[in-house]
Amino acid sequence: MSFDFSKLLSVAWGGWTTTWPTQLLALIWLAWLASWIGASFWQGRTQKQVMTLESGRYRIPILVGGILFTPWTAEVLNEKPLWVFSNTAVYVTALIVLAGISFTWWGRLHLGKFWSNTITHKEDHRVIDTGPYGIVRHPIYTGLIAGMLATGIAVGTVTAILGAILISLGMWQKGRMEEVFLSKELGEDAYGAYCRRVPMIIPFLSPR
């Protein structure tokens, strides 16, 4: 008895990913995810990190938001978009998403071995305040939030929009927790002073 891969593919590739040009947004995110996971092995040794239970404060909204954001949720709910973007509007959105993703990679490459998927204190950890970290304190979160919100609006379903908002709130919460942690680990004089100089998520806003 042969396995029907077409059924598996239809489940994996469904919802708003089946319609061009919003399918382009899915391809961009898949490419980013694959590259991000592939680079996850490049990081320094961890000295200390936030406990798993405590990290649930940001992990839960990100997880729930991620489930809502996926095209399969809208497909299961047979959800229709609130509006339909024109091809031109989606291509403009794709450029915004690419800009956001590029900003995340600039931040990650500039952070180097100090990067981590969790809130950690790495060996020889120090405050990085140059490059994108001189624009915002969390350029990776800034780029992801911009890309997620733009994609959610372009897709136009309630679940995608709500998912993008929850993911953004989770990242904001993670950023707040990270700053409390690093202020204790690196010292208020060093990290606290940095927080008073540079905006958190949105460029050009007043710090803090």
122: left (phi over 0), alpha (psi -120 to 50) or beta: beta
Give the pLDDT mean for 4-20. 57
Q: Tell me what the mean pLDDT of segment 100-112 comes to.
A: 94
pLDDT digits (tens, 9 = 90+) for 39-79: 877 766 666 666 667 788 999 999 999 999 988 898 889 89
Amino acid at 64: V
pLDDT number for residue 50: 67
Domain ranges, ordered by start, for the chain: 20-33+43-197
The fold for domain 20-33+43-197 equals Four Helix Bundle (Hemerythrin (Met), subunit A) (1.20.120)
DSSP assignment of 80-98 equals PPSS---HHHHHHHHHHHH
pLDDT band of residue 33 (cuts 50, 70, 90) is: very high
**Which tokens belong to 146?**
């911009």
The partner residues of 164 in beta bridges, in order of sequence, read: none
pLDDT in tens, 155-182: 999 999 999 999 999 999 999 999 998 8
Model pLDDT, residue 48? 60
